[in-house]
Chain A
Amino acid sequence: MDSESKKIVKWNPYSEGYFENPYKHLAECKKSSPVQIGLKNYYILFNHSDVRNVIKNPDFLTSDFSEFFKEKEPYIFKESNACPYLSKSTSKWLMYLDGEDHLKARELVEKGLSVFNYDELTNQAIDEILVELKALKVNNEIDLVDVAAKLPVIITNKMLGLSNHFDFYESKTLAHSLAYSQDLFLPRQVYLKINSDMELMFEFLSEKYESLLINPDESFFSIIIKLNNEFNYNFSKSELISVIMVLFLGSIETSKDTLSMIFLELLRDKSLLKTIQNNTQIENNILVEEFLRYSSPLQYTVRVSTLDYTIGDITIPANSKLLLCLASANRDEEVFDDAQNIVPNRKYNPHFAFGGGLHSCVGAKLARIELRAFIPKIASFLSRCDISIENAPVWQKTIMMRGLKSLNVVVKK
């Protein structure tokens, strides 16, 4: 083997062009060394099989996010008058809970969500959006990220009972800020900004909680307060607020990012729009799964080993942090034929867009309903849009969740 072929491509999300297109770098990392020790001593796994084995293995726990903040808050808030909201706001974020704590919180959420008619909520929201799009003037330049965000914002605020409190832009900004708190490599200055957004939301939800105790309504928040008492879950007020916050961010941010990245792919290859318009609903459902694989916002998930774990000739010691690269696994050529391209009728599609194992996304059903209903209905509008030449798409500079900051288009006749 010559020295060139031995050279390892080290994982670096700050490598040139990563935020615009991480997949080239990830494929190079995977090819060069599919298990790597990277920044902050994370073990990073790139192969689909390795990711699958870990994500489905109950010996691996999630990292305790709230505990991380608890430990770091004295540092983050030194010389600051702000009150710490980071740890308490994240105390019941499902994706960072394990064991009984996780099961209990997940059960409460699933019970609370089960009363909602997702199809009805989605179709009402889509009708509202299509009316707005119809009223747009020709040659208008609009940001499709806003169109993408509108669907989950309307649905989420209606379900959680927040429609009259946070307007569209507030909701979009807050959801992004909460989601961003989970990103890797954030400095204190950013945490302070996120903390002020968490404070705003937490304090509002705190007042809302008190009013719902006196005047219950049909909202998810009101329902889980009732379930909490009826079934003796014993979650505190602060913990229930944390549950609402995680659903708010999960529901809005991930659907916004997924939809806006799908819009981008449809505008890059408009033949896909024709395919969608000619497809049956079942064929479009298959295409939606392919978009989820190809354009998933969820790029990584973290697990912590409880035992020594061996992959090939590498032994990962107990208590190590693993960064499972879902983005790389979703484009693994050993699992997906023609993995770097969109294959509209892909049959075998074991992607990780919603994570996997015990912690698979609790909102996956709603997300699928949104995508399956919205994409065929917006296809005709998208066929009248061209990506703005003056204002090219801008990517978020985020690692854990990929997404577009803006996707400006010009609307034609």
Chain B
Amino acid sequence: MDKYSTEELTLWFKKQLAAELNVPSENVDLNATISSFGLDSLSNLTLVFSIEEYTNLSIDPTVFEEFNTFEEVIEWIQNQKK
């Protein structure tokens, strides 16, 4: 599995969420609560699938329920890679 830096993952998450929400990526705050993004279950699953493809990790689709923010998700992904 490739190793990604926090910066790379941050940029990638911002780009993905910006596309999901139709907003500029600079407006995406990864420290906001995940629930505040208002993603429905299909969007959540689509994002998890994209993360799997990008990181080569096998991820439980319910992963976002375990975390408050996407920054925490990024931290979790990095720990999976160690």
Q: Are both chains from one complex?
A: yes
A306 beta carbon closer than 8 Å to chain B = no
Contact B49 A189 (CB under 8 A): yes
Residues from chain B with Cβ under 8 Å of A72 in the complex? 42
Do A14 and B60 contact each other (CB < 8 Å), given the known contacts A187-B49, A189-B49?
Answer: yes
Q: How many A-B residue contacts, CB cutoff 8 Å?
A: 31
Q: Using known A-B contacts A14-B60, A14-B61, A14-B62, determine if residue A185 contacts B43 with beta carbons closer than 8 Å.
A: no
Q: Which residue of B lies closest to A185 (CB)?
A: B61
**How far, in whole Å, are A189 and B42 apart by their CA atoms in the complex?**
10
**C-alpha spacing A75/B20, complex, angstroms:** 9
Instruction: Please tell me if the beta carbons of A186 and B45 are within 8 angstroms of each other in the complex.
Output: yes
A188 within 8 A of partner (CB): yes
B window 52-76: CB within 8 A of A? 53, 60-62
Give the size category of B's interface with A. Answer: 10 to 19
- B7-51 vs A: 1/0 string, CB under 8 Å? 000000000000000000000000000000000011101111110
In the complex, what's the smallest C-beta–C-beta distance from A104 to chain B, in angstroms?
A: 31
Give the distance in Å from the alpha carbon of A40 to the alpha carbon of B62 in the complex: 10
B62–A12 touching, CB < 8 Å: yes
- The reply to whether A75 and B61 contact each other, CB–CB distance below 8 Å, is no
Q: Assess whether A318 is interfacial by the CB under 8 Å rule.
A: no
Instruction: Please tell me if the beta carbons of A188 and B46 are within 8 angstroms of each other in the complex.
Output: yes
Q: How far is the CA of A185 from the CA of B48 in the complex (A)?
A: 10
Which residues of chain A come closer than 8 Å to B41, judged between CB atoms? 40, 185
- Is A187 touching B48 in the complex (CB atoms < 8 A)? yes
Q: Are A188 and B61 in contact (CB under 8 A)?
A: no
Q: In the complex the two chains form, is B62's CB within 8 Å of A187's CB? A: no
Tell me whether A82 is interfacial, beta carbon within 8 Å.
no
A residues within 8 A CB of B42?
72, 75-76, 187-188
Residue of B whose beta carbon sits closest to that of A76:
B42
Interface centre among B43, B47, B48, B61 (most CB of A within 10 A): B61
Which among A12, A187, A188, A189 has the greatest number of chain B C-beta atoms within 10 A? A187
Determine whether A307 belongs to the interface, using a CB cutoff of 8 Å to chain B: no
CB atoms of A39 and B45 under 8 A apart: no
B49 contacts which of A14, A39, A76, A190 (Cβ < 8 Å)? Answer: A190
Residues of A within 8 A of B50 (CB): 187, 189
Known A-B contacts A187-B48, A187-B49, A190-B49; A75 and B62 likewise in contact (beta carbons under 8 Å): no
* Contact A189–B46 (Cβ < 8 Å): yes
How far, in whole Å, are A260 and B46 apart by their CA atoms in the complex? 31
**Which residue of chain A is the closest to B45 with respect to CB atoms?**
A187
Given the complex, which residues of A lie within 8 Å of B43, measured CB to CB?
75
A138–chain B nearest beta-carbon distance, Å: 38
Q: How far is the CA of A186 from the CA of B61 in the complex (A)?
A: 9
Residues of B within 8 A of A76 (CB): 42
CA distance A189 to B45 in the complex (A): 10
Please name the residue on chain A nearest to B52 by beta carbon: A187
A56→B72 CA distance, assembly (Å): 45
In the complex, what distance in Å separates the CA atom of A190 from the CA atom of B47?
12
Q: Can you pick out 23 interface pairs between chain A and chain B where the beta carbons lie within 8 Å of each other?
A: A12-B60, A14-B60, A14-B62, A39-B62, A40-B41, A75-B42, A76-B42, A185-B45, A185-B61, A187-B42, A187-B45, A187-B46, A187-B47, A187-B48, A187-B50, A188-B42, A188-B45, A188-B49, A189-B46, A189-B49, A189-B50, A189-B53, A190-B49
Residues of B in contact with A (beta carbons under 8 Å apart): 41-43, 45-50, 53, 60-62
For the complex of A and B, 8 pairs with smallest distance between CB atoms? A187-B49, A187-B46, A14-B60, A188-B46, A187-B45, A185-B61, A189-B49, A40-B41
* 16 further contact pairs, Cβ within 8 A, besides A14-B61, A189-B46: A14-B60, A39-B62, A75-B42, A76-B42, A185-B41, A186-B45, A187-B45, A187-B47, A187-B48, A187-B50, A188-B45, A188-B46, A188-B49, A189-B49, A189-B50, A190-B49
